[in-house]
Amino acid sequence: MRIEGLKLIHFRNYSQLELELDKNLNLFVGANGQGKTNLLEAISFLASGSSFRTHHESEFVFWGKKSCLVSGIVSKRFGKQTQQVCYESEKRRKIYKNEGVLVERRKYLGQLIPVLFTPEDLTLVKGQPQGRRRFLDEEIAKVSPVYEYELGRYQQIVKQRNFLLKKYREKIIGSQEIESWNEQLVLQAVKILTKRMAALHRISLLARLAHRKLTGSRENLDINYASLPTHQEGSHPEQIRQSLLESLEERKQEEVRWGQTLVGPHRDDILFFINGKNAKMYASQGQQRTLVLALKLAELEYVKGETGEYPVLLFDDVFSELDESRRRFLVETIEGRVQTFITGTEAERLGNFRHAGRIFTVSRGEVL
Ligand SMILES: Nc1ncnc2c1ncn2[C@@H]1O[C@H](COP(=O)(O)OP(=O)(O)OP(=O)(O)O)[C@@H](O)[C@H]1O
Ligand SMILES: [Mg+2]
């Protein structure tokens, strides 16, 4: 998939902007604070109505204005389409359109898929489990938008269950009410777990391959889903269901003590091992960078495998930080295949591609 043209109205520091994009490579160069990241954010807003930077939609709207709009012409193997998202700050609502026709969000999602690499991703390996779960959940949601709703439903159940645990304490144990919440929790947890394990299995194979190439076969990457020991890729859903129920039974006193649901996919983690050593503890800065890059490359292939189209790739600031050999490998992998958007402060450090794309200069909310 490719974005042929992009239009922004009152989005962040852009009053009005229309851009024709290169089908392979688009470099956005400019000093700090000029609007480079805002452009990548506009692409993620166009894709899903959300941003990688904030949950506060009002921030998207140009100061003093009431609404913002991003529209784009997205072309794929079987044709192209204009899609657009508008956010109205007074009504706090988003409006999604395909070819000018209003559509529901769930129908809109999945048409444009971005894969994003920002400096924050470098904390993925050593940061909190939440970030790693989010990484995986976002990947699945990109290719299977209904997953977002399934996950939301699960989180709602956990919240309600926690509320009951806190409110009724000991009295809740063995009550019909908690039993019924346990059933619902487990039912939804199984859906999440099976999707997560299948997706991670696929992603880990792809990442392992990319990682091997990035390290000249010196390092071996393993990725594991860390959950209850009985949960394995390929486990039967009934087996997962049973072990979750058993685990809930075992930990019920503890759950009451903490007023928290302690069993389920919201507590799981993803573990990375480089040559058998846990990367969270032992990976160097450079190794973390390589690992994350391998994951991003795996994402590209994962999306391609699931949807038949490569996503668009957004690099915010990180490209110029990669060393020569990683950059070369990256360029070889994506060039001509994946439409790429790269931001940076100096054009010369970005120019590693054989075929020049477009270089845009970004200055105070204008693109030249
Ligand atoms: N809603 C808004 N309305 C107007 N201006 C905004 C709005 N939100 C952010 N800005 C401005 O946008 C600019 C930041 O843009 P952006 O984050 O894209 O910069 P950048 O070019 O990526 O910079 P850096 O190189 O430092 O990452 C800031 O100057 C900020 O004041
Ligand atoms: Mg920036």
The enclosing domain of 2 has a CATH number of 3.40.50.300
For residues 144 and 96, membership in a common domain is answered with no
Residue 326's SS3 state is helix
Distance of CA 39 from the midpoint of ligand 1 (Å)? 10
For residues 12 and 76, membership in a common domain is answered with yes
Question: Which residue puts its alpha carbon closest to atom 13 of ligand 1?
Answer: 33
Which runs of consecutive H residues, i.e. helices, occur in the chain?
36-48, 105-108, 129-143, 146-168, 176-214, 237-250, 252-258, 279-282, 285-307, 324-334
The answer as to whether 338 is a domain residue is yes
The answer as to whether 118 is a domain residue is no
Question: Which residue puts its alpha carbon closest to atom 27 of ligand 1?
Answer: 32
Angle between helices 285-307 and 176-214 (to 10 degrees): 110
Q: Is 32 in the pocket of ligand 1 (CB under 6 A)?
A: yes
The answer as to whether 315 is a domain residue is yes
Q: What angle do CA 189, 195, 140 make, to 5 degrees?
A: 115
Of 27, 34, 368, best ligand 1 pocket probe by most atoms within 8 Å of the beta carbon: 34
User: φ, ψ for residue 74 (rounded to 5)?
Assistant: -110, 125
For residues 326 and 289, membership in a common domain is answered with no
> What pLDDT, on a 0 to 100 scale, did the predictor assign at position 352?
66
Quick one: CA torsion of 133, 134, 137, 142, rounded to 10 degrees? -150
Q: Are the CB atoms for 136 and 93 separated by under 8 Å?
A: no
Q: From first to last of its 368 residues, what are the pLDDT tens digits of the chain?
A: 999 999 999 999 999 999 999 999 999 999 999 999 999 999 999 999 999 999 999 999 999 999 999 999 999 999 999 999 999 999 999 999 999 999 999 999 999 999 999 999 999 999 999 999 999 999 999 999 999 999 999 999 999 999 999 988 888 888 888 899 999 999 999 999 999 999 999 999 999 999 999 999 999 999 999 998 777 777 889 999 999 999 999 999 999 999 999 999 999 999 999 999 999 999 999 999 999 999 999 999 999 999 999 999 999 998 888 888 888 888 888 988 999 999 998 876 666 676 768 999 999 999 99
Q: Is 13 in the pocket of ligand 1 (CB under 6 A)?
A: yes
Q: Is 61 in the pocket of ligand 1 (CB under 6 A)?
A: yes
For residues 131 and 276, membership in a common domain is answered with yes
- Rounded to a whole number of angstroms, the distance between the first and last alpha carbons of the chain is 25
CA distances from 108 to 22, 84, 91, 296, 306 (A): 24, 9, 20, 24, 17
Q: Which residue range(s) make up the domain with 286?
A: 125-307
Q: Is 56 in the pocket of ligand 1 (CB under 6 A)?
A: no
**Domain count of the fold of the chain:** 2
- The strands making up 67-76's β-sheet, listed across from edge to edge, are 14-20, 2-11, 67-76, 79-88, 93-98, 101-103
Q: Which of 307, 330, 357 is the last residue of a domain?
A: 307
Return the ligand 1 atom nearest residue 317 CA: 27
The answer as to whether 27 is a domain residue is yes
For residues 273 and 140, membership in a common domain is answered with yes
Of 13, 39, 317, 350, best ligand 1 pocket probe by most atoms within 8 Å of the beta carbon: 13
| Rounded-to-integer distance, Cα 3 and Cα 354, Å | 21
Distance of CA 317 from the midpoint of ligand 2 (Å)? 7
* pTM of the shown model: 0.94
Q: What is the DSSP letter of 61?
A: B
The answer as to whether 130 is a domain residue is yes
Q: Are the CB atoms for 244 and 264 separated by under 8 Å?
A: yes
Residue partners of 61: CB distance under 8 A and separation at least 6? 10, 11, 67, 68, 87, 89
> What pLDDT, on a 0 to 100 scale, did the predictor assign at position 113?
98
Tell me the CATH number at 260.
1.20.1050.90
CA-based R_g, the chain, Å: 22
> What pLDDT, on a 0 to 100 scale, did the predictor assign at position 351?
65
| Rounded-to-integer distance, Cα 123 and Cα 279, Å | 12
